[in-house]
Amino acid sequence: MSCLPSRLYAIADPAQTGGRPLASVIDAMLAGGVTVLQLRVKDRPADEFLRLALAARERTSRQGCLFIVNDRVDIALAARADGVHLGQEDLPLEAARPLVGDKLIGVSTHSPEQAEEAERGGADYVGFGPMFPTRTKETGYASRGLSMLESVRRRVRIPIVAIGGVTADNAAQTWNRGADAAAMISHLTRGEDVTARVRQILDP
């Protein structure tokens, strides 16, 4: 069984709430049925990141939602998250694993080779992308597309989270071509009703 209990991997980011408080975005995601939530916080002091993580941990725990912290192993540990998600410039997997024990570790990858390396290194899942053109995040990578996703699928057994430009309209394509889950940030928060958007994706 996949370590990821949902086809939607929701990301909450205080810089992408559409003007709402982060807590209310998380509540709206949970109300829509999100069961995997990552907190992504960039360019804020660690004490603030931790406060947001503790609040997200409390909310996700109440709903039995898996909670993953982006980038920072120490904040994931301090907030008792279920896992940490590491980019290619974060702590490397082999340094993070002894610190987190059997918590989940996800790794951002941008090629089949990186995905294989993450699996060999003991990652519990990989993010793969950017799938489609996106304005959310300046990744410095061209979009990877569905064929490369299929290539990743052939090469790793661990769950794949397709990320980057994924929306309600194209999520099914990623699932059909090998992704276990589709990650979404701005697509969930850009509209009026976050809960309805989540429901639309989970039960199209």
Phi-psi group of 157: left, alpha or beta (phi > 0 → left; psi -120 to 50 → alpha; rest → beta): alpha
From the list 19, 45, 101, 140, which residue makes contact with a second copy (rule: CB under 8 A)? 45
Q: Which of 8, 37, 96, 201 binds a second copy (CB under 8 A)?
A: 96
Q: If binding means CB under 8 A, how many residues of this protein chain bind a second copy?
A: 21
Tell me which of 15, 18, 24, 95 binds a second copy, using CB under 8 A.
95
Give residues 47-76 in contact with a second copy (rule: CB under 8 A).
Answer: 47-48, 50, 71-75
**92 sits near a second copy (criterion: CB under 8 A):** yes
Tell me which of 108, 177, 186, 197 is the catalytic residue.
Answer: 108
Query: 40 an active-site residue?
Result: yes
User: Is 151 part of the annotated catalytic residue set?
Assistant: no
Q: Which amino acid is at 125?
A: Y
- Name which of 24 and 88 has its Cβ closer to a second copy: 88
- Whether 103 is a known active-site residue: answer no
Three-state SS letters, 88-150: CCCCCHHHHHHHHCCCEEEEEECCHHHHHHHHHCCCCEEEECCCCCCCCCCCCCCCCHHHHHH
Cα separations (Å) of 78 from 60, 81, 97? 15, 8, 15
Residues 128 and 158: their CA atoms lie apart, in Å, by 12
Interface residue with a second copy among 1, 89, 138, 204 (CB under 8 A) is 89
Verify binding: residue 19, a second copy, rule CB under 8 A.
no
In single-letter form, the type of residue at position 26 comes to I
The neighbour count for residue 135, using CB atoms within 10 Å, is 7
Q: Prior bond to 130 cis, omega within 30?
A: yes
Q: Which of 59, 72, 103, 137 is catalytic?
A: 137
Annotated catalytic residues are: 40, 108, 137
Q: Which residues bind a second copy (CB under 8 A)?
A: 45-48, 50, 71-75, 77-78, 88-92, 95-96, 98-99
